[in-house]
Amino acid sequence: MSKEEIYKAEVWEKLLLDYSLPDYSISKIDAKVMGPRLANILESICEKYQQYINLSALSVIQSSLVDGLSYGRIKKMKLDNVSKHDNIIIIIFNTILLPNNLNLKKSQLIFQFVDGVSDDVSINDFCSNICRYLNN
């Protein structure tokens, strides 16, 4: 196994996103639609995003998603949509940003997982850290 394959297997094992469910697109957390594991992850993110360590990580991810944004510190964040299509899960949060170099007030924070792993290491690390504190 290559380092990349080992890394993906480790992330997949920590997140354990449920791909056995039918495709969906939903604007609220619903364990019956998205599975209890993803519902718990999202509830935890929504409840704890303002903790300094989480807010810092999310702000780094936000900055990486917007060209030219040097540091997009998040002031508020709200779940907008969660969708699953085949082997892809996309989670979209609407964000309100603190003053920044682009004078951008609102943005979207997008997490995309293909077969249970994101291409973005920061997203994998953030979600893996959230999963450490979940019961299931």
Collapsing DSSP to helix, strand or coil, 51 comes out as coil
- Distance CA(77)–CA(25), nearest Å, equals 19
Band of residue 71 on the pLDDT scale cut at 50, 70, 90? confident
Predicted pLDDT of residue 136: 56
Contact 74, 48 (CB under 8 A): no
- Distance CA(7)–CA(124), nearest Å, equals 10
Contact 74, 98 (CB under 8 A): yes
pLDDT in tens, 25-63: 999 999 999 999 999 999 999 999 999 999 999 999 999
Q: What's 98's DSSP letter?
A: P
Contact 69, 56 (CB under 8 A): no
Question: What are the structural domain ranges in the chain?
Answer: 3-131
Contacts of 99 (CB under 8 A, 6+ apart): none
